[in-house]
Structure 1
Amino acid sequence: GMEADFAAFGSPLCGEVKRFCRRVRETYREIKEDLTPYRDDRYYRLAPMRLYTLSKRHFVLVFVVFFVCFGLTVFIGIAGPNVIETSVARTDLNNSVKLKPFNLSSPPLSTYNQQLWLTCIVELDQQDVSLKKNVSMTVKILGVVKDGSTPYVNNQVHNRTRLLSCAQKCSEIIVAHLGYLNYTQYNIFVSLEDLNKLTYTIQNITFTWKTYNPTFSQVEIWFRFVFVVLTFMVTCLFAHSLRKFSMRDWGIEQKWMSILLPLLLLYNGT
């Protein structure tokens, strides 16, 4: 009696499972038909892509050339000049108890230096100090022109607040940053009167000028120029290869390439 009940119970269950599997197969077949593009006459008029007709040898050759070029750029980046050029303007406090404003002159600059940073590091007498304090500073930037005069930059004095963080050594503080250089030299006056309120003795304050390395800037310009020329040549070859086909017959890859190549040309050219 129990086996008969189990058989009666199993038959409907197996039937439901079979119907469910059949329904899944039908749904999959319908989705596959919907996703498969209908190959009308336009399908055979689409502009051909060389990538789909490459032989194995040419396919491997394309990848080899790509990795050789990529490795060459990585090697030039590693063996090339440093990106940032630094020069230290160490200031002597002369054992004075009270800090006075600092008058700092930048090294000679050119357009290849691109930007200018002035940073400082505070050195305390105590080495194992843990300190975090907001420090106010006053910065006045003067540009030196050829006749020796020093006009104001932006005609204002800048008041800035920076976080002084010390843990054995104090972290570097950015005093000023010029995003573009209109003068060949700058004089910067820095007042750090808030440091006089510290309970710790200041041993020294080291200021550092940072700019882009002019040699790096020249290498960057040549790289961009070479890539502008290469991108222009590829764009011309791409347009020449598609001149026989209507834009309606372009594939999605070719349409996107027609947008990306001019954008890449503009990116490398600016």
Structure 2
Amino acid sequence: MRLYTLSKRHFVLVFVVFFVCFGLTVFIGIAGPNVIESSVARTDLNNSLKLKPFNLSSPPLSTYNQQLWLTCVVELDQHDVSLKKNVTMTVKVLGVVKDGSTPYVNNQVHNRTRLLSCAQKCSEIIVAHLGYLNYTQYNIFVSFEDLNKLTYTIQNITFTWKTYNPTFSQVEIWFRFVFVVLTFMVTCLFAHSLRKFSMRDWGIEQKWMSILLPLLLLYNDPFFPLSFLVNSWFPGMLDDLFQSLFLCALLLFWLCVYHGIRVQGERKCLTFYLPKFFIVGLLWLASVTLGIWQTVNEVHDPTYQYRVDTGNFQGMKIFFLVVATTYVLYLLFLIVRACSELHNMPYVDLRLKFLTALTFVVLVISIVILYLRFGAQVLQDNFVAELSTHYQNSAEFLSFYGLLNFYLYTLAFVYSPSKNALYESQLKDNPAFSMLNDSDDDVIYGSDYEEMPLQNGQAIRAKYKEESDSD
């Protein structure tokens, strides 16, 4: 692997290039447009209007708006009120056809209960959410049945239409396209570098990279433009499926590498892979189930929210957290055991240090981004994707996508075979030349490894040539 031929300066350069590329995407995102575009419809209330429905017309929409939310904020005449009350809300959604002449009327009326929570000011209530747009405009009728029972006087109700910014949608299309092209190129180059070697001689990192890079291509979603051409929930569902598949494969990669680096020889499916597939498979199943559950219900009911089905949601949330905790503890156990057992083995020690250092950097950056975005409530009200969990600016979108893409690109570069690697056909019985297999531990990796790898390789090749000539 190229990992063995890199000097200390090269390792520093690898990390510098990684940070430069990531920082560039963040700065581009900061200069980019906002993700969410808002349009406010402010309504002044009096006693005669409280019980009447509000007729709200959305601004003109296009496929670049992607989704539509209608939210409302109740404003009381007193600002220091602490209040929590369930309010019954009736919603009817009308889709206006393109010519605007005749509205398409959905006769189904949705009744939902929302929690009105006020502490100095009332929290925002999501009235309806449309995951994809079939019409160029929507009319929504909203009425509240229990507001007149409040002990406090309602001053205003502010309704807000929220959609994706069309400019951001264009930025998202272009950057996804760029990442798709880059990932395809990296995948082809990595596969090309391994073509001369038997899969038996591939290291466990190289085998996993041959899986993760195609999954990263799906994570960037080459089918994303379909969401602007097809008025359907399917492209969005496909995007969520690809993302969950790649992220869970990445979690599985960490488990297999930190365990497999200790297990030399044959790694049995039943004892080695099955427990890891079981843990990560439960995480993937929980995430996909929640995503499908939310999407399917929203298709039939735009007012649906996971909080409505509180019992099932809380059960799924607890299940997810228990499995995630099990995964983290298992991963920490594998890391500690690998570091304690293999820290004196030069080649393996280098593999552990590099992967741990780069992964730690990626995790720290991810945690910082999540904390800046959600604060301490990252796993409370934002567990299932809704308006609050979507990106608020281009920097958040590009930082997440850029971080994972450049992380995989860096691993692909370091784990690819070096230029001096010899073919397996020449080295059948010489474990010193193995790219990365069970014989790596037999190769002495000197402390001054800035110059040793190349010199050792030349010396061994010369000796092998002499033996061939004598034969």
Shift of 1:118: 0.6
Partner residue in 1 for 2:195: 243
Contact 1:103–1:190, Cα closer than 8 Å, also in 2: yes
Partner residue in 1 for 2:43: 91
Contact 1:224–1:269, Cα closer than 8 Å, also in 2: no
Alignment of 1:1-270 (within 5 A): 49-93=1-45, 96=48, 98-149=50-101, 155-266=107-218
Shift of 1:162: 0.3
Bigger Rg over Cα: 1
Contact 2:36–2:164, Cα closer than 8 Å, also in 1: yes
Q: Where does the alignment leave 5 or more consecutive residues of structure 1 unmatched? A: 1-48
Shift of 1:94: 5.4
Q: Deviations over 1:2-21 (max 9, x none)?
A: xxxxxxxxxxxxxxxxxxxx
Shift of 1:167: 2.1
- Closer, same or farther: CA 235–98 of 1 in aligned 2, 3 Å: closer
2-structure distance, mates of 1:75, 1:98? 47
- Closer, same or farther: CA 152–97 of 1 in aligned 2, 3 Å: closer
2-structure distance, mates of 1:269, 1:258? 40
Shift of 1:195: 0.9
2-structure distance, mates of 1:262, 1:136? 48
1-structure distance, mates of 2:127, 2:175? 32
Shift of 1:240: 0.8
Shift of 1:194: 1.6
Shift of 1:155: 4.9
SS at match of 2:146: helix
Shift of 1:99: 3.0
* Range moving further from structure 2, 161-170 or 227-236: 161-170
Contact 1:83–1:213, Cα closer than 8 Å, also in 2: yes
* Range moving further from structure 2, 58-67 or 146-155: 146-155
Q: Deviations over 1:9-45 (max 9, x none)?
A: xxxxxxxxxxxxxxxxxxxxxxxxxxxxxxxxxxxxx
2-structure distance, mates of 1:63, 1:269? 46
- Closer, same or farther: CA 153–181 of 1 in aligned 2, 3 Å: farther
1-structure distance, mates of 2:49, 2:77? 13
1-structure distance, mates of 2:470, 2:128? 30
2-structure distance, mates of 1:58, 1:193? 68
Q: Deviations over 1:85-113 (max 9, x none)?
A: 11101123356364310000111111221
Contact 1:100–1:193, Cα closer than 8 Å, also in 2: no
Contact 1:141–1:152, Cα closer than 8 Å, also in 2: no
SS at match of 2:104: coil
2-structure distance, mates of 1:121, 1:133? 14
Shift of 1:257: 0.5
RMSD: 6.5
- Closer, same or farther: CA 269–155 of 1 in aligned 2, 3 Å: farther
- Closer, same or farther: CA 248–100 of 1 in aligned 2, 3 Å: same
Contact 2:94–2:106, Cα closer than 8 Å, also in 1: no
Contact 2:92–2:106, Cα closer than 8 Å, also in 1: no
2-structure distance, mates of 1:118, 1:163? 16
- Closer, same or farther: CA 255–217 of 1 in aligned 2, 3 Å: same
* TM-score for both structures, normalised by structure 1: 0.76
Shift of 1:151: 5.1
2-structure distance, mates of 1:208, 1:127? 21
Contact 1:133–1:163, Cα closer than 8 Å, also in 2: yes
2-structure distance, mates of 1:156, 1:69? 50
SS at match of 1:91: strand
2-structure distance, mates of 1:123, 1:80? 33
Contact 1:143–1:150, Cα closer than 8 Å, also in 2: no
Shift of 1:170: 1.4
Q: Deviations over 1:251-270 (max 9, x none)?
A: 1111001100110011x999
Shift of 1:211: 1.2
Contact 2:96–2:104, Cα closer than 8 Å, also in 1: no
- Closer, same or farther: CA 126–56 of 1 in aligned 2, 3 Å: closer
- Normalized per residue, the structure richer in strand is 1
- Closer, same or farther: CA 198–91 of 1 in aligned 2, 3 Å: same
- Closer, same or farther: CA 224–256 of 1 in aligned 2, 3 Å: same
- Normalized per residue, the structure richer in helix is 2
- Closer, same or farther: CA 195–130 of 1 in aligned 2, 3 Å: same
1-structure distance, mates of 2:56, 2:102? 13
Q: Deviations over 1:192-234 (max 9, x none)?
A: 1221222222111110111111111211111111111011001
Q: Where does the alignment leave 5 or more consecutive residues of structure 2 unmatched? A: 219-468
- Closer, same or farther: CA 81–153 of 1 in aligned 2, 3 Å: farther
Contact 1:93–1:99, Cα closer than 8 Å, also in 2: no
2-structure distance, mates of 1:103, 1:190? 7
| Percentage identity across paired residues of the two chains | 95
Q: Deviations over 1:118-171 (max 9, x none)?
A: 111111223332211100010001111113255557652111100011222211
* TM-score for both structures, normalised by structure 2: 0.44
SS at match of 2:44: coil
Alignment coverage as a number of residue pairs = 221
